[in-house]
Amino acid sequence: MRNRFDAQLNKLNNSLIEMGALVEVAIGNATHAFETQDAELAKTVLAADDLVDTKERDIEARCLKLLLSQQPVARDLRQISTALKMITDLERIGDHAIDICELSLFLSDQNYILNPENIPVMASVTQKMVTESIDAFVKKDLKLAKAVIARDDVVDELFGKTKTELIKLVHSNADLGEQAFDLLQIAKYYERIGDHAVNVAEWVIFSITGKHKDTQVL
């Protein structure tokens, strides 16, 4: 009985890692598509979103089934509830990758108005946060999860910088307003991705310690 349950938990874990990998690839490709204005790449990311959604539903169904049939307690319960919460954040990250791709597709035939220095930095930092939050989950690494949470400040700061830069540009030339808005949106999406990575990291910490945001939940 316990063996079967363990095998099911294992499978759940593997599915979660696979979903993480899908999201990682999506955000990596989205960033690349944005930076190189590669419309084809952007389209492949858009096409791959279904995979993430299917995976989310699959994991969700699995979690509910396990909760119902096994009535888990303690660590098992934490693991399953973590999975249930994590997939929401992962799916949101995947959605933001799609949003970035859609905007990149729209911008792919325009010259970027500002030398987009901060946005690629934001992109690489958030991408790393996503990778590390999934790594933390895979390796059950508390330290790594905390490092991810700490790095969110960097992203927030970069977002602020990008915003001021864009405001300056629009002040100097009102015609640049449209693209400035799009770029700001992209920056915002990255900032949101960073927040979701933090959420994932927090759930990882919960699955290890039973504490979520420093309150003992389970």
Partner 1 sequence: MKKKIFKNIALVSSVCVLLTGVFLCLVFYFQLGDVVKTELQNRANAYIDFSYEDVENSLADVDESDIRVTLVAPNGTVVFDNTANATTLENHTDRIEIKEALESGSGQSSRLSQTLGEETYYYAVKLSDGYILRTAKTADSVLAVFARNLLLFALIMLAVLTLCYCFSARLAKRIVAPINKINFDEPNTVYDELAPFMRTITSQRSQIEKDMQALRARQDTINTIMDNMSEGAVLVDNKENLLYVNKGAKKLFSFANNGQGQNLRALFRDAELLAVAKSTLSGEHCETNRNIGGREYQIYGSPVAGVGAILLFVDVTEKAKAEKLRREFSANVSHELKTPLTSIAGYAELLTNGVAKQEDTAGFLQKIKAESDRLSQLVEDIMLLSGLDEGQATANIESVELAKVAYEVKELLAKKTEKNAVKINITAADDVIIKANYSHMHQLLFNLMENAVKYNKSGGTVEVSIQQKNGHPKLTVADTGIGIPTAEQARIFERFYRVDKSRSKTLGGTGLGLAIVKHICMIYEAKIDVKSTEEKGTKISVTF
Contacts of 113 (CB under 8 A, 6+ apart): 169, 176, 179, 180, 183
Do 108 and 45 contact (CB within 8 A), yes or no?
no
- Residue type, position 13, single letter: N
Contacts of 55 (CB under 8 A, 6+ apart): 15, 18, 19, 22, 87
Nearer to partner 1, 24 or 182 (CB): 24
Residue indicated by tokens 């970069």 = 158
Q: How far is the CB of 1 from partner 1 (least distance, A)?
A: 19
Q: How far is the CB of 21 from partner 1 (least distance, A)?
A: 4
Q: How far is the CB of 201 from partner 1 (least distance, A)?
A: 17
Nearer to partner 1, 84 or 144 (CB): 144
Nearer to partner 1, 10 or 69 (CB): 10
Q: How far is the CB of 163 from partner 1 (least distance, A)?
A: 31
Nearer to partner 1, 65 or 139 (CB): 139
Binding site for partner 1 (CB under 8 A): 10, 13-14, 17-18, 20-22, 24-25, 134, 138-139
